[in-house]
Structure 1
Amino acid sequence: MMKQDLKISLPVYKIGYSLAFIVILSCVHSVVYVNEIGPAIDGKMAVLTLVFCADTYLIERQSRRREVFRLYLIKNQYYAVLRRITVQIGYLTVISILAYGMFYWQKPAVLDEKRSGIFLFLLYCGVVFITIFFWSVLSVTVCNLLQSVWGGMGMLFPVWLFLVSKAGEKLLGVWNPFSYEFCEFSELTEWKWAAGKIITAVCAILLLLLQKKILEKRG
Protein backbone atom coordinates (compact mmCIF):
# COMPACT_ATOMS: atom_id res chain seq x y z
CA MET A 1 0.00 0.00 0.00
CA MET A 2 2.76 2.44 0.95
CA LYS A 3 4.65 1.62 -2.25
CA GLN A 4 1.57 2.50 -4.30
CA ASP A 5 1.10 5.76 -2.39
CA LEU A 6 4.75 6.64 -3.01
CA LYS A 7 4.29 6.07 -6.72
CA ILE A 8 1.13 8.18 -6.80
CA SER A 9 2.53 10.97 -4.60
CA LEU A 10 5.94 11.33 -6.24
CA PRO A 11 5.69 10.81 -10.00
CA VAL A 12 8.81 11.56 -12.02
CA TYR A 13 7.43 14.79 -13.51
CA LYS A 14 6.77 16.24 -10.04
CA ILE A 15 10.26 15.40 -8.87
CA GLY A 16 11.63 16.96 -12.06
CA TYR A 17 9.86 20.30 -11.85
CA SER A 18 10.34 20.66 -8.09
CA LEU A 19 14.10 20.14 -8.40
CA ALA A 20 14.22 22.55 -11.33
CA PHE A 21 12.33 25.07 -9.20
CA ILE A 22 14.86 25.12 -6.37
CA VAL A 23 17.82 25.23 -8.76
CA ILE A 24 16.35 28.23 -10.59
CA LEU A 25 15.43 29.92 -7.29
CA SER A 26 18.97 29.61 -5.95
CA CYS A 27 20.31 31.08 -9.19
CA VAL A 28 17.97 34.05 -9.67
CA HIS A 29 17.43 35.17 -6.05
CA SER A 30 20.59 36.83 -4.79
CA VAL A 31 21.50 36.94 -1.09
CA VAL A 32 24.28 38.84 0.66
CA TYR A 33 23.95 37.46 4.19
CA VAL A 34 23.17 33.98 5.52
CA ASN A 35 20.11 35.27 7.37
CA GLU A 36 18.54 36.20 4.02
CA ILE A 37 18.47 32.61 2.76
CA GLY A 38 15.51 31.36 4.82
CA PRO A 39 13.19 34.28 3.99
CA ALA A 40 14.18 33.94 0.32
CA ILE A 41 12.88 30.36 0.22
CA ASP A 42 9.94 30.21 2.66
CA GLY A 43 7.28 31.97 0.60
CA LYS A 44 8.36 30.31 -2.63
CA MET A 45 8.13 26.85 -1.09
CA ALA A 46 4.51 27.65 -0.27
CA VAL A 47 3.56 28.16 -3.91
CA LEU A 48 5.53 25.08 -4.96
CA THR A 49 3.69 23.07 -2.29
CA LEU A 50 0.35 24.47 -3.42
CA VAL A 51 0.92 23.17 -6.95
CA PHE A 52 2.69 19.95 -5.94
CA CYS A 53 -0.10 18.73 -3.63
CA ALA A 54 -3.15 19.94 -5.54
CA ASP A 55 -3.99 16.55 -7.05
CA THR A 56 -3.19 14.42 -4.00
CA TYR A 57 -6.74 13.04 -3.92
CA LEU A 58 -8.10 14.05 -7.32
CA ILE A 59 -5.39 12.02 -9.08
CA GLU A 60 -7.82 9.12 -8.61
CA ARG A 61 -10.24 10.75 -11.02
CA GLN A 62 -7.56 11.61 -13.55
CA SER A 63 -6.20 8.07 -13.58
CA ARG A 64 -9.68 6.50 -13.71
CA ARG A 65 -9.19 4.77 -10.38
CA ARG A 66 -11.86 6.82 -8.67
CA GLU A 67 -14.63 4.23 -8.75
CA VAL A 68 -12.31 1.60 -7.29
CA PHE A 69 -11.02 4.05 -4.66
CA ARG A 70 -14.58 4.94 -3.63
CA LEU A 71 -15.26 1.28 -2.85
CA TYR A 72 -12.84 1.60 0.06
CA LEU A 73 -14.19 2.49 3.48
CA ILE A 74 -14.03 6.23 4.20
CA LYS A 75 -11.53 5.43 6.94
CA ASN A 76 -9.25 3.71 4.43
CA GLN A 77 -9.60 6.57 1.95
CA TYR A 78 -8.71 9.00 4.72
CA TYR A 79 -5.60 7.05 5.71
CA ALA A 80 -4.54 6.84 2.06
CA VAL A 81 -4.81 10.62 1.72
CA LEU A 82 -2.87 11.08 4.97
CA ARG A 83 -0.11 8.79 3.73
CA ARG A 84 0.17 10.70 0.47
CA ILE A 85 0.25 14.06 2.21
CA THR A 86 2.92 12.75 4.59
CA VAL A 87 5.07 11.51 1.71
CA GLN A 88 4.76 14.83 -0.11
CA ILE A 89 5.51 16.88 3.01
CA GLY A 90 8.58 14.75 3.66
CA TYR A 91 9.85 15.12 0.11
CA LEU A 92 9.22 18.87 -0.05
CA THR A 93 10.93 19.37 3.31
CA VAL A 94 14.00 17.52 2.05
CA ILE A 95 14.27 19.59 -1.13
CA SER A 96 13.69 22.81 0.83
CA ILE A 97 16.72 21.88 2.95
CA LEU A 98 18.62 21.14 -0.25
CA ALA A 99 17.57 24.56 -1.57
CA TYR A 100 19.00 26.20 1.56
CA GLY A 101 22.37 24.59 0.94
CA MET A 102 22.33 25.58 -2.73
CA PHE A 103 22.30 29.27 -1.82
CA TYR A 104 25.78 28.90 -0.34
CA TRP A 105 27.28 28.97 -3.84
CA GLN A 106 26.72 32.74 -3.54
CA LYS A 107 29.06 32.76 -0.52
CA PRO A 108 26.77 34.75 1.83
CA ALA A 109 28.38 36.39 4.87
CA VAL A 110 27.36 35.92 8.51
CA LEU A 111 25.87 39.21 9.71
CA ASP A 112 25.94 38.48 13.44
CA GLU A 113 28.20 35.90 15.10
CA LYS A 114 25.73 35.62 18.00
CA ARG A 115 23.23 34.07 15.60
CA SER A 116 25.31 31.32 14.08
CA GLY A 117 24.70 29.68 10.74
CA ILE A 118 23.57 26.52 12.55
CA PHE A 119 20.96 28.44 14.56
CA LEU A 120 19.62 30.12 11.41
CA PHE A 121 19.49 26.80 9.57
CA LEU A 122 17.62 24.99 12.36
CA LEU A 123 15.20 27.89 12.66
CA TYR A 124 14.60 27.77 8.92
CA CYS A 125 13.94 24.01 9.04
CA GLY A 126 11.17 24.49 11.59
CA VAL A 127 9.66 27.42 9.73
CA VAL A 128 9.67 25.84 6.28
CA PHE A 129 8.22 22.58 7.63
CA ILE A 130 5.21 24.49 9.00
CA THR A 131 4.86 26.33 5.69
CA ILE A 132 4.88 23.09 3.71
CA PHE A 133 2.55 21.38 6.18
CA PHE A 134 -0.03 24.17 5.98
CA TRP A 135 0.00 24.73 2.23
CA SER A 136 -0.07 21.02 1.42
CA VAL A 137 -3.15 20.39 3.56
CA LEU A 138 -4.82 23.62 2.40
CA SER A 139 -4.22 22.75 -1.25
CA VAL A 140 -5.64 19.23 -0.86
CA THR A 141 -8.65 20.57 1.06
CA VAL A 142 -9.62 23.34 -1.36
CA CYS A 143 -9.07 21.23 -4.49
CA ASN A 144 -11.15 18.40 -3.05
CA LEU A 145 -13.95 20.75 -2.00
CA LEU A 146 -14.07 22.29 -5.47
CA GLN A 147 -13.45 18.92 -7.13
CA SER A 148 -10.98 20.69 -9.40
CA VAL A 149 -7.20 20.91 -9.36
CA TRP A 150 -7.13 24.04 -11.51
CA GLY A 151 -10.02 25.61 -9.62
CA GLY A 152 -8.27 25.03 -6.29
CA MET A 153 -4.96 26.40 -7.49
CA GLY A 154 -6.73 29.34 -9.12
CA MET A 155 -8.39 30.21 -5.82
CA LEU A 156 -5.30 29.79 -3.66
CA PHE A 157 -2.74 31.53 -5.84
CA PRO A 158 -4.23 35.05 -5.31
CA VAL A 159 -4.37 34.31 -1.57
CA TRP A 160 -0.68 33.41 -1.58
CA LEU A 161 0.12 36.45 -3.70
CA PHE A 162 -1.62 38.73 -1.20
CA LEU A 163 0.05 37.14 1.83
CA VAL A 164 3.57 37.61 0.43
CA SER A 165 2.85 41.19 -0.65
CA LYS A 166 3.52 44.42 1.24
CA ALA A 167 -0.24 44.82 1.66
CA GLY A 168 -0.43 41.43 3.39
CA GLU A 169 2.48 42.36 5.62
CA LYS A 170 0.89 45.66 6.67
CA LEU A 171 -2.59 44.26 7.19
CA LEU A 172 -1.72 41.08 9.11
CA GLY A 173 1.58 42.02 10.74
CA VAL A 174 2.94 39.24 12.96
CA TRP A 175 -0.19 37.15 12.22
CA ASN A 176 0.81 36.77 8.59
CA PRO A 177 1.72 33.14 7.72
CA PHE A 178 4.90 34.58 6.19
CA SER A 179 5.80 36.77 9.17
CA TYR A 180 9.22 35.09 9.25
CA GLU A 181 9.90 36.37 5.75
CA PHE A 182 9.07 39.95 6.74
CA CYS A 183 10.86 39.91 10.10
CA GLU A 184 13.87 42.18 10.53
CA PHE A 185 17.02 40.27 11.42
CA SER A 186 17.46 42.25 14.65
CA GLU A 187 13.96 41.13 15.78
CA LEU A 188 14.42 37.47 14.90
CA THR A 189 14.98 36.26 18.47
CA GLU A 190 12.16 38.38 19.90
CA TRP A 191 9.86 35.70 18.44
CA LYS A 192 6.89 38.02 17.84
CA TRP A 193 6.86 36.84 14.23
CA ALA A 194 6.25 33.27 15.44
CA ALA A 195 2.56 34.10 16.05
CA GLY A 196 1.85 33.76 12.34
CA LYS A 197 3.54 30.36 12.15
CA ILE A 198 1.77 29.07 15.25
CA ILE A 199 -1.64 30.03 13.84
CA THR A 200 -0.65 28.44 10.53
CA ALA A 201 0.30 25.16 12.23
CA VAL A 202 -2.95 25.05 14.22
CA CYS A 203 -5.02 25.69 11.07
CA ALA A 204 -3.15 22.92 9.24
CA ILE A 205 -3.92 20.42 12.01
CA LEU A 206 -7.61 21.37 11.99
CA LEU A 207 -7.81 21.04 8.21
CA LEU A 208 -6.13 17.66 8.41
CA LEU A 209 -8.74 16.47 10.90
CA LEU A 210 -11.49 17.70 8.56
CA GLN A 211 -10.31 15.57 5.64
CA LYS A 212 -12.45 12.62 6.70
CA LYS A 213 -15.62 14.73 6.71
CA ILE A 214 -14.75 16.20 3.33
CA LEU A 215 -14.27 12.72 1.88
CA GLU A 216 -17.66 11.70 3.25
CA LYS A 217 -19.31 14.70 1.61
CA ARG A 218 -17.41 14.77 -1.67
CA GLY A 219 -16.11 11.23 -2.02
Structure 2
Amino acid sequence: MSTEQHEISLDQQVALKGAAQRLAEHFSGTFNKETIERFLVSSYDEFADRATLTNFLPLLAERFAKQRLQALARVEGHGSDGKPIVLFLCVHNAGRSQMALGFFNHHARDRAVAWSGGSEPGTQINPSAIEAMAERGIDITEEYPKPWTEEIVSAADVVVTMGCGDACPYYPGKRYEDWELDDPAGKSVEDVRPVRDEIERRVLELLDELVAVSAKG
Protein backbone atom coordinates (compact mmCIF):
# COMPACT_ATOMS: atom_id res chain seq x y z
CA MET A 1 0.00 0.00 0.00
CA SER A 2 1.38 3.41 -0.93
CA THR A 3 0.22 7.01 -0.92
CA GLU A 4 -0.01 9.34 -3.86
CA GLN A 5 1.76 12.22 -2.13
CA HIS A 6 4.31 10.78 0.28
CA GLU A 7 7.05 8.20 0.48
CA ILE A 8 6.49 5.85 3.41
CA SER A 9 8.88 3.48 5.14
CA LEU A 10 8.57 -0.30 5.11
CA ASP A 11 7.48 -0.26 8.77
CA GLN A 12 4.72 2.22 7.99
CA GLN A 13 3.59 0.15 5.01
CA VAL A 14 3.29 -2.88 7.28
CA ALA A 15 1.39 -0.79 9.85
CA LEU A 16 -1.00 0.51 7.19
CA LYS A 17 -1.67 -3.01 5.91
CA GLY A 18 -2.57 -4.06 9.44
CA ALA A 19 -4.82 -1.02 9.78
CA ALA A 20 -6.54 -1.85 6.50
CA GLN A 21 -7.20 -5.39 7.70
CA ARG A 22 -8.72 -4.20 10.97
CA LEU A 23 -10.91 -1.68 9.17
CA ALA A 24 -12.00 -4.34 6.67
CA GLU A 25 -13.09 -6.58 9.53
CA HIS A 26 -14.92 -3.74 11.25
CA PHE A 27 -16.78 -2.65 8.10
CA SER A 28 -17.29 -6.12 6.67
CA GLY A 29 -20.45 -6.17 4.56
CA THR A 30 -20.55 -2.37 4.39
CA PHE A 31 -17.49 -1.27 2.39
CA ASN A 32 -15.17 -3.15 0.08
CA LYS A 33 -11.39 -3.36 0.33
CA GLU A 34 -10.81 -0.66 -2.28
CA THR A 35 -12.98 1.90 -0.49
CA ILE A 36 -11.34 1.19 2.85
CA GLU A 37 -7.83 1.49 1.45
CA ARG A 38 -8.72 4.71 -0.36
CA PHE A 39 -9.97 6.30 2.86
CA LEU A 40 -7.00 5.02 4.83
CA VAL A 41 -4.46 6.37 2.35
CA SER A 42 -6.16 9.75 2.01
CA SER A 43 -6.35 9.98 5.80
CA TYR A 44 -2.62 9.26 6.00
CA ASP A 45 -1.94 12.04 3.51
CA GLU A 46 -4.01 14.47 5.59
CA PHE A 47 -1.52 14.17 8.46
CA ALA A 48 1.78 13.49 6.70
CA ASP A 49 2.61 17.10 5.79
CA ARG A 50 2.30 18.44 9.32
CA ALA A 51 3.20 15.44 11.47
CA THR A 52 5.93 16.03 14.04
CA LEU A 53 6.18 12.35 15.05
CA THR A 54 5.88 10.23 11.92
CA ASN A 55 5.85 6.95 13.86
CA PHE A 56 2.26 7.69 14.85
CA LEU A 57 1.03 8.43 11.32
CA PRO A 58 -0.46 4.97 10.60
CA LEU A 59 -2.35 5.03 13.90
CA LEU A 60 -3.73 8.52 13.27
CA ALA A 61 -4.67 7.52 9.72
CA GLU A 62 -6.50 4.43 10.98
CA ARG A 63 -8.45 6.35 13.62
CA PHE A 64 -9.43 9.11 11.21
CA ALA A 65 -10.32 6.69 8.41
CA LYS A 66 -12.56 4.76 10.81
CA GLN A 67 -14.41 7.92 11.78
CA ARG A 68 -14.80 8.95 8.14
CA LEU A 69 -16.09 5.51 7.15
CA GLN A 70 -18.57 5.54 10.04
CA ALA A 71 -19.79 8.90 8.77
CA LEU A 72 -20.04 7.64 5.20
CA ALA A 73 -21.98 4.59 6.34
CA ARG A 74 -24.51 6.84 8.03
CA VAL A 75 -24.78 9.15 5.01
CA GLU A 76 -25.34 6.19 2.68
CA GLY A 77 -27.93 4.64 4.97
CA HIS A 78 -25.97 1.55 6.02
CA GLY A 79 -27.76 1.33 9.33
CA SER A 80 -27.99 3.89 12.10
CA ASP A 81 -28.23 3.61 15.87
CA GLY A 82 -30.34 6.77 15.98
CA LYS A 83 -27.92 8.65 18.21
CA PRO A 84 -27.58 12.35 17.36
CA ILE A 85 -24.17 13.44 16.08
CA VAL A 86 -22.61 16.82 16.86
CA LEU A 87 -19.58 18.17 15.01
CA PHE A 88 -17.49 20.81 16.80
CA LEU A 89 -15.38 22.97 14.48
CA CYS A 90 -12.79 25.66 15.14
CA VAL A 91 -9.68 26.85 13.31
CA HIS A 92 -6.87 24.62 14.59
CA ASN A 93 -8.91 21.88 16.31
CA ALA A 94 -6.50 22.31 19.19
CA GLY A 95 -8.45 24.16 21.89
CA ARG A 96 -12.13 25.10 21.86
CA SER A 97 -13.44 22.26 19.73
CA GLN A 98 -11.33 19.72 21.61
CA MET A 99 -12.62 20.89 24.99
CA ALA A 100 -16.18 20.77 23.64
CA LEU A 101 -15.58 17.23 22.37
CA GLY A 102 -14.18 16.20 25.73
CA PHE A 103 -17.11 17.60 27.69
CA PHE A 104 -19.68 16.19 25.27
CA ASN A 105 -18.26 12.67 25.39
CA HIS A 106 -17.94 12.86 29.17
CA HIS A 107 -21.52 13.93 29.76
CA ALA A 108 -23.23 12.13 26.87
CA ARG A 109 -21.90 8.69 27.72
CA ASP A 110 -23.56 6.57 25.02
CA ARG A 111 -26.58 8.77 24.38
CA ALA A 112 -25.04 10.84 21.57
CA VAL A 113 -21.91 11.07 19.43
CA ALA A 114 -19.46 13.96 19.00
CA TRP A 115 -16.71 14.63 16.47
CA SER A 116 -14.40 17.59 16.02
CA GLY A 117 -12.30 19.18 13.29
CA GLY A 118 -10.51 22.30 12.16
CA SER A 119 -10.31 24.48 9.05
CA GLU A 120 -6.52 24.71 9.52
CA PRO A 121 -5.61 21.84 11.85
CA GLY A 122 -2.63 22.38 14.12
CA THR A 123 0.05 19.90 15.09
CA GLN A 124 -0.88 19.33 18.74
CA ILE A 125 -3.56 19.98 21.34
CA ASN A 126 -3.16 23.24 23.26
CA PRO A 127 -1.29 22.36 26.52
CA SER A 128 -3.36 24.88 28.51
CA ALA A 129 -6.57 23.27 27.24
CA ILE A 130 -5.26 19.85 28.24
CA GLU A 131 -4.41 21.07 31.75
CA ALA A 132 -7.70 22.93 32.16
CA MET A 133 -9.68 19.84 31.18
CA ALA A 134 -7.57 17.64 33.45
CA GLU A 135 -8.66 19.86 36.34
CA ARG A 136 -12.19 18.65 35.58
CA GLY A 137 -11.09 15.03 35.41
CA ILE A 138 -11.27 14.81 31.60
CA ASP A 139 -8.27 13.56 29.63
CA ILE A 140 -8.04 14.91 26.07
CA THR A 141 -4.42 13.89 25.46
CA GLU A 142 -5.49 11.00 23.22
CA GLU A 143 -7.14 13.42 20.79
CA TYR A 144 -5.36 15.05 17.86
CA PRO A 145 -6.01 18.00 15.51
CA LYS A 146 -7.70 16.87 12.31
CA PRO A 147 -9.57 18.41 9.39
CA TRP A 148 -13.23 18.12 8.57
CA THR A 149 -14.28 16.12 5.52
CA GLU A 150 -17.41 16.14 3.40
CA GLU A 151 -18.77 12.85 4.73
CA ILE A 152 -18.22 13.89 8.36
CA VAL A 153 -20.08 17.18 7.92
CA SER A 154 -22.84 15.45 5.96
CA ALA A 155 -23.37 12.87 8.70
CA ALA A 156 -23.62 15.39 11.54
CA ASP A 157 -27.01 16.46 12.85
CA VAL A 158 -25.64 19.65 14.41
CA VAL A 159 -22.53 21.60 13.42
CA VAL A 160 -21.14 23.92 16.10
CA THR A 161 -18.63 26.48 14.82
CA MET A 162 -16.20 28.38 17.01
CA GLY A 163 -14.31 31.15 15.30
CA CYS A 164 -13.61 29.58 11.91
CA GLY A 165 -15.96 31.97 10.10
CA ASP A 166 -16.28 31.52 6.35
CA ALA A 167 -13.68 28.75 6.43
CA CYS A 168 -16.15 26.45 8.17
CA PRO A 169 -18.27 24.32 5.83
CA TYR A 170 -21.88 25.26 5.17
CA TYR A 171 -24.42 22.69 3.98
CA PRO A 172 -27.95 24.00 3.34
CA GLY A 173 -30.61 22.44 5.52
CA LYS A 174 -28.23 21.42 8.30
CA ARG A 175 -28.54 22.85 11.80
CA TYR A 176 -25.71 25.23 12.70
CA GLU A 177 -24.76 26.99 15.91
CA ASP A 178 -22.01 29.58 16.20
CA TRP A 179 -20.46 29.82 19.64
CA GLU A 180 -18.51 33.04 20.17
CA LEU A 181 -15.69 32.08 22.50
CA ASP A 182 -12.22 33.44 23.17
CA ASP A 183 -9.47 31.51 21.41
CA PRO A 184 -7.32 29.72 24.02
CA ALA A 185 -4.26 29.79 21.75
CA GLY A 186 -1.30 31.26 23.64
CA LYS A 187 -3.30 31.73 26.85
CA SER A 188 -2.41 30.50 30.32
CA VAL A 189 -4.46 27.88 32.12
CA GLU A 190 -5.91 30.62 34.31
CA ASP A 191 -7.18 32.46 31.23
CA VAL A 192 -8.50 29.26 29.62
CA ARG A 193 -10.63 28.25 32.61
CA PRO A 194 -13.49 30.74 31.90
CA VAL A 195 -13.59 29.55 28.27
CA ARG A 196 -13.64 25.95 29.45
CA ASP A 197 -16.51 26.58 31.85
CA GLU A 198 -18.57 28.41 29.23
CA ILE A 199 -18.02 25.55 26.79
CA GLU A 200 -19.25 23.04 29.36
CA ARG A 201 -22.37 25.12 30.02
CA ARG A 202 -23.21 25.26 26.32
CA VAL A 203 -22.43 21.57 25.79
CA LEU A 204 -24.76 20.55 28.61
CA GLU A 205 -27.51 22.76 27.22
CA LEU A 206 -27.13 21.31 23.73
CA LEU A 207 -26.91 17.74 25.00
CA ASP A 208 -30.06 18.08 27.11
CA GLU A 209 -31.92 19.38 24.07
CA LEU A 210 -30.68 16.64 21.75
CA VAL A 211 -31.40 13.82 24.20
CA ALA A 212 -34.91 15.20 24.81
CA VAL A 213 -35.64 15.35 21.09
CA SER A 214 -34.19 11.87 20.55
CA ALA A 215 -36.33 10.46 23.35
CA LYS A 216 -39.47 11.79 21.66
CA GLY A 217 -38.52 9.84 18.55
Question: TM-score, normalization: structure 2?
Answer: 0.33
Structure with greater strand percent: 2
Greater share of residues in helix: 1
Higher RCO, Cα 8 Å, sep 6+: 1
